[in-house]
Chains A and B, each alone.
Chain A
C-alpha cells in the first residue's frame, strides 16, 4: 500500500512539475527558445504574488487574477524588447541572455525581499485531504494543482489545435520564413508565446509557494525539474509535457521510498535516472516527434 500511495502522491506532485514545464515546452516548441531563466521566473511569479497579497490582502488563489496578467505582459515585453534579438539557428545567444536574466532576477529578489524563505498561506485547505483508503490520502492542494495543470495544458492544446493563433504557432514552428509569406508576424507571435509561457510559469510559481516555502535562489532547481519533464515527455508536445511531469513526479515519490535506507535525495536521484534513461533510449521523448 505504501508503494501505491507513493505513486498516487507522485502523480499529484507531477501536476506541479507539468505546470512548471508548460511554458518551457511552449517556448521551445514555437521558437526553439531555451529559457534558462524559467525557474527564476516561477519564483519571480511567487514573489509578485507575495507583493500582491501584501498590498491587497487577497487569497493566493485570487491573486492569480493580478499575477498572471502582470507576468503575461512582462513576457510579451521581454520577448519583443530582448529575446527576439537572440533568436537564431545558434542557440547560444538565447542561452547566455536567459542565464544572465536568471542571475539578475535572483539578485533583484534578494535585494527586494531578502534571503528569507516565504510561503503563500491559503488557510486550512493546505492540510486538508481526501481519505481514499486507510493508507492513502490525497491533499486538496496537490489535487487542485494537478487539476489546474491538466486544465492549463488542455486549454493550451485546444488553442494550438483549434484556433487561428494555434495554427500560426505551428506554422512558425515549422518554417518561420514561409510563415511570413502567409502574413504572419513571427516576432510578434513569439512575444505572444512568451507571454503565455510567463503566465503559465506564474501559475506554477504561485502553486509552488502554496505547497512549500520558497526563496530567491530556488529557481534553478525548478528549472531542472521543468527541463526533465519536458525532455521525458517530448520537446514541444503538450500532452507529452503532462506525461513527463507525472512520470517525473512518480519517480520522485517512489524514489523517496528509499530515503529510509539511502538517505535524503533518493527521490530526486531516481527522477534524474528516469530522465537519463529516457534521454538515452528515446531522445525525442515519450510523445515527441522522432527526428526524421
Chain B
C-alpha cells in the first residue's frame, strides 16, 4: 500500500527554486533512501514533507489525503516525524524532556520512553543531563528517539551520519531496523551512499532538484548510481567511480 505519494512537487526559498516536479512514492513499511550530492534538494524535500517549507506546486498525498497545505504542527498528529539535519535538540531541556516533548502531539502506539530507551540504551544514564552536553552521536540518538516518541507512520531522517565518527554512524544504522519493525516507514536522506544502501529497500537519487534515478539497491548498477549522483552521462559512472 502506498503511504506517501508525491506528484509534481515544486518548492524553494524566496526566488530560488530547489525542487522541480518531484514524483516519489513510498510504500508502507519500506525504507527509502534518498541520495544526492550537496544542494540536490534532499533536505528541502524532507522539509516540505514535514511542513517546514511550503510546496509551490504539486500534491503530497499522505495515506490518501493531500497534506500539501497542512501546517507543520498538524502533520505530527497525522504520523509524520522529521529528524532534522543537525539534530536540533532543545538546549534548555534535559534529555528526558527532549524525548517526552516528542510525544506532545503524537499518536498512540508502541513507542514510549521505555521502548525508545531499549533501542538506544546508551542514553538511559543521560536522561537528566542537559541535551547540549551530549556528544554528537548521543544527540543523534536522542533526536531519533524524540521523533519515535510521536509514534510516526513515516519517519524522515535527514543526514543522520553528518559529522559523526564512523563507529557512531554504524551503531545508529544498526538501530534503524528497529524503526521499521516498530511499524514506521522510513525515508532516509544521506550523502553516504554505501551506508544508506545497506539499510534501504529502495533508493531515489536527486540531482539539482530532479529525480535522476529510482530503483532497488540490488537492481541498479553502482555505475548508474554514480552517474545519477554526479549528473554524468549514463554508462560513464563506472569511469567516474573507479
List the interface of chain A (C-beta within 8 A of B): 164, 167-168, 170-171, 173-175, 177-186
Q: Which residue of A lies closest to B100 (CB)?
A: A167
Tell me the nearest residue of chain A to B94, going by C-beta.
A167
Classify chain B's interface size: 20 to 34
B99 to chain A, nearest CB (A): 11
What 7 A-B pairs are tightest by C-beta distance, nearest first? Answer: A183-B105, A183-B76, A180-B72, A178-B88, A174-B90, A180-B73, A171-B90
Cβ–Cβ contact A170 & B90, under 8 A: yes
Residue among A167, A173, A181 with the most chain B CB within 10 A? A181
- Which residues of chain A are near B150, meaning CB under 8 Å? 182-183
Q: Mark B88-108, 1 if CB is under 8 A from A, else 0.
A: 101111000100111011100
Q: Is B82 an interface residue (CB 8 A)?
A: yes
Instruction: Let me know if B104 and A164 touch, CB within 8 A.
Output: yes
Q: Contact at A174–B91, with CB atoms within 8 Å?
A: yes
Q: Does B52 contact A (CB under 8 A)?
A: yes
Q: Which residues of B contact A175 (CB under 8 A)?
A: 88, 90
Q: How far is the CA of A204 from the CA of B91 in the complex (A)?
A: 32
Min Cβ gap A184→B in Å is: 6
Instruction: Give 16 CB contacts A-B under 8 Å.
Output: A167-B100, A168-B104, A170-B90, A170-B97, A175-B90, A177-B52, A180-B71, A181-B82, A182-B76, A183-B105, A183-B106, A183-B150, A184-B73, A185-B71, A185-B73, A186-B73
B51 adjacent to chain A (CB < 8 Å): yes
Please tell me if the beta carbons of B77 and A183 are within 8 angstroms of each other in the complex: yes
Q: How far is the CA of A20 from the CA of B85 in the complex (A)?
A: 41
The A-B contact count (CB < 8 A) is 64
Q: Are B92 and A182 in contact (CB under 8 A)?
A: no
Which one of A171, A184, A185 has the greatest number of beta carbons of chain B within 10 Å?
A171
* Bound form: Cα–Cα A185–B104 in Å: 10
| Chain A residues closer than 8 Å to B72, beta-carbon distance | 177, 180-181
B60-118 contacts to A, CB under 8 A, are 71-74, 76-77, 81-82, 84, 88, 90-93, 97, 100-102, 104-106
Do A181 and B92 contact each other (CB < 8 Å), given the known contacts A164-B104, A167-B101? no
A183 (CB) vs chain B CBs: closest residue: B105
Q: Are B88 and A168 in contact (CB under 8 A)?
A: no
* A90 CB, min distance to chain B CBs, angstroms: 16
In the bound complex, CA of A181 to CA of B104 (Å): 10
Residues of B within 8 A of A185 (CB): 71, 73
Q: How far does the Cβ of A92 sit from chain B's closest Cβ, in whole Å?
A: 21
A163 and B77 CA atoms in complex are apart in Å by 20
Chain A residue nearest in CB terms to B88: A178
A171–B93 Cα gap in the complex (Å)? 7
Contacts beyond the supplied A181-B84, A182-B102: 19 A-B pairs with Cβ under 8 Å: A164-B104, A167-B93, A168-B101, A171-B90, A171-B93, A171-B101, A174-B93, A175-B90, A178-B84, A178-B88, A180-B72, A181-B52, A183-B74, A183-B76, A183-B77, A183-B106, A184-B101, A184-B105, A186-B73
Q: How far is the CB of A65 from chain B (nearest CB, A)?
A: 32
User: Which residues of chain B from 198 to 227 have any CB-CB distance to chain A below 8 Å in the complex?
Assistant: none
Asked if residues A182 and B105 are in contact (CB atoms below 8 Å), the reply is yes
- With A and B bound together, what is the CA distance between A228 and B100 in angstroms? 36
Of all chain A residues, the one with the shortest Cβ separation from B78 is: A183
Contact A167 B77 (CB under 8 A): no
Contact B52 A174 (CB under 8 A): no
Find chain B residues with CB under 8 A from A167 CB.
93, 97, 100-101, 104
> How distant is the Cα of A185 from the Cα of B51 in the complex, in angstroms?
13
Asked if B50 lies at the interface with its beta carbon under 8 angstroms from chain A, I say: yes
Task: Tell me whether A182 and B91 are in contact (CB under 8 A).
Answer: no
CB pair A180–B104 under 8 Å, yes or no, is: no
* Binary A-proximity of B30-64 (CB < 8 A = 1, otherwise 0): 00000000000000000000111000000000000
Contacts of A179 in B (CB 8 A): 90
Partner of A182, one of B52, B71, B74, B104: B104
- Separation of A173 and B90 alpha carbons in the complex (Å): 9
Query: Does B76 contact A173, Cβ atoms closer than 8 Å?
Result: no
A182-B84 contact, Cβ under 8 Å, with A171-B90, A174-B93: no
